[in-house]
Structure 1
Amino acid sequence: MVAVTPAGETRIWTTLDLEKDGKQHGFLRLPFSTDLSAYGTIPIPITCIRNGEGPTALLVAGNHGDEYEGQIALGKLARQIKPADVRGRIIILPALNYPAVAAGRRLSPLDEGNLNRLFPGKANGTPTEMIAHYVVTVLLPLSDLVIDLHSGGRSLSYYPCCLIRDGGIEAETAKLVELMKIFGAPVGSISDGSGGGASTTLSAAAQSCGVPALTAELGGGGDISRAGEAIATQGLRRVLRHIGILPGVETEPPPPVRMMRVEGKDAFIYAACRGIFEPCVGIGDSVHAGQCAGFIHPIEGAHRPTEAIYLAKSGFVACCRFPAITDPGDCLFKLLSEIERL
């Protein structure tokens, strides 16, 4: 597969030597000039653990700043793993969109950029576009695998899932399915990439560069799911052991994975009006076409009717809107379809 990367040389730099053996903690330096800091930079934490030749895994969290389980799991991994444990290299970015992480927001306060909607980025773009560009032009060419850890953030509650994009080529998809089963989230979800962020996500950028990518959804609501963090912690170690980077690490066997599919844009149910959202189904529920999944209660007064939400298709509720107040176009639910055989 031919890599599709944006033109221009990155303006982000790091003092870390990614070819050096040992464990290094440091920062990517994102140039950001302000009234009070003419030559200022934004520090983005990075850890590199390398020990000789072998594959490279790029591990990312904080792609969205209000998603915390992955940030904790990668922080633990970076502190606990010793160079002697490693065969190859692990590059860890626990707070990739650091301005958003520091603000506890999905979007960067510097430019309102949604990092996972701006790949492949721009060398001389906004700060968020520059981060995406660095990942695509510097880090992905070094990588044999990418794992991008997410959750629902402040707007969604998510059933723990591991997601892949259909590789198109049967062998590529089979490899991703194998890795997804080893990661061991309760649900494995396969997407054609047409929904959500489509071609603008990190997983899409990795696919365009020929790098296998796993994405995980681990919780949501702006809270910490201990179960989601534990899934990430064990899943990371299992996958890194499987590809030979952590050959001696002790892991629990992966639990059974329920294989499901995202049926494109039809998987998402959106609000049609403003009001107070009352769900009648929750994440992990199996629902059927024609079922009432919730209500939107008007806030303008009792003269306005309550809006019932009926499902057009059957499926498994993977995520549900978290805040009660909703506006037209807000995602209320995402449904997955069962895969009988894979």
Structure 2
Amino acid sequence: MIKGAWIVTALIGCDQGATAEPPPKEPPAPAADDGRVEKRGSSESRNTAVEEEGLLIGEYRLAPDPVIDGDTIRVEGIDKSIRLLSLDTEERFHGKAERAAATKDFEGYLKMKRGDAKRPRKTGTPMGEQASEFAKAFFEGAESVRLERDDPKEIRGHFGRPLAYALVEKNGRWTSYNVECVRAGMSPYFTKYGYSHRFHNQLSHAEAEAKQAKRGIWNPNAQSYGDYDERKAWWDARADFIRAFEHQATRESNFILLSHWDAPNRLEASLGKEVVVLSTVDRVKHFKGLVRVTLDMQPKRPLPLIFFDREVFNESGVADYQGEPVVVRGRVERYTKGSYSTLQLVVDDVAQVTTPKLPGEI
């Protein structure tokens, strides 16, 4: 038994459960041209299709009142709202008090909302309201929406929502809402969780076009966050770190992205072997004899990193990277007690942890 593992049992007892067998792969969807793809046959609108690996999720009827905000929609047949990829529109106001504060003194409102946070935060703004109206106009009258993934293995995000590009048929072609939202200046090209694999050029060009035309958030008179240079520098630094790992993962079979649906299966198959994983730091908890750091993993089964040496933990700097991506190298171990079993990595050398170079101090 691993030293101190009895403590780990009490902390992660909710992570039990077997993973499903790998589903059959869907054929790749055609590449888009300027945010558009040629029409193909629709798939059955059923919630189970969301869990199947592949680029194409399917065509779905929009739910009544489908727009939650500029980057989130609802469709019939899927249990949760759809988080639209490569977008990060500003928030809608949450209540009358927030709207009133923004109306009275918008700059003061933004400063109050950020407080002493080291990184930009999200909050309700007039541009967030405008982005929602843009989405409503875009999807108005659409009979169905086509949902596609960026990566066939990236099925759901941190909050369990399906991740997708949303396309609507306009003038006989499928038009990407994600690209058009950026082109309209309703959102920057959002790279916090990585560059788009399929539509990087289209999204980059759409953002450049919106900036040049001073549309939406790029209009100097818009009541928007106003700190997009800072946001983009942070997001792109993360994206560069993720892309470097992804490139290595194409050459090294033991590199595992924990955001992929099959990460638990791959770790199970690597028991006793060294792996290199990429994920965001979720929680850090200190206990007598160890520090437990959890990394996000799909499907909602965090991977524990166990530090028995507190000096190694401190030198790794991982405590300063909660919510940020890190790369960790280690041998996959299993801890078992009674009917409970979990996989974990033990970190006993600071060289096992690699953190990104982010702008500013963390």
What is the TM-score with the length of structure 2 in the denominator?
Answer: 0.28
- Name the one with the larger strand percent: 1
Larger radius of gyration: 2
What is the TM-score with the length of structure 1 in the denominator?
Answer: 0.29
